[in-house]
Structure 1
Amino acid sequence: MATGTDPDVLLEVRGLHTRFRTDGGEIPAVDGVDLTIRSGRTLCVVGESGCGKSVTARSILQLVEPPGRVTGGQVLLHAGGSSGAAAAPPSAEPLDLAALDPKGRDIRRVRGRDVSMIFQEPMASLSLVHRVGNQIGEAIRVHNPVSKKEARRITVRLLGQVGIPNPERLVDVYPFQLSGGMRQRVMIAMALSCEPRLLIADEPTTALDVTTQAQILDLLAGLQRDHGMAIMFITHDMGVVAEIADDVAVMYLGKVVERGSVDDVFHAPKHPYTRALLESVPRMGGPRRDRLPAIRGSVPDPADRPSGCVFRDRCDSFMPGLCDTVEPPTVETGGSQVRCLLYGGAEQAPTAPRAGAADRADPDPRPRKEAADVDAD
Structure 2
Amino acid sequence: MKAVRLQKYHQHPVIEDVPEPRATGPFDVVVKIGGAGVCRTDLHIIEEQWAEKSGVELPYTIGHENAGWVHEVGPAVTNVEVGDTVILHPTPTCGLCHACRAGDDMHCPNGSFPGISSDGGMAEYLLTSARACIKLDPSTEPSDVAALADAGITAYHAVRKAVPQLYPGTTCVVNGAGGLGHIGIQSLRALTAARVVVVDRNADALELAATLGADETVLADGKQVEAVLDLTGGNGAEVVLDFVAEQGAQQDAFAMTRRAGSHFVIGYGSNIEIPTIDIISTERNIIGNLVGTYNDLVELMVLAQAGKVTLHTKKYPLDAALDALADLDAGRVRGRAILTP
Instruction: Name the TM-score, length of structure 1 as normaliser.
Output: 0.24
- The structure having more radius of gyration, on CA atoms, is 1
- Higher fraction of strand: 2
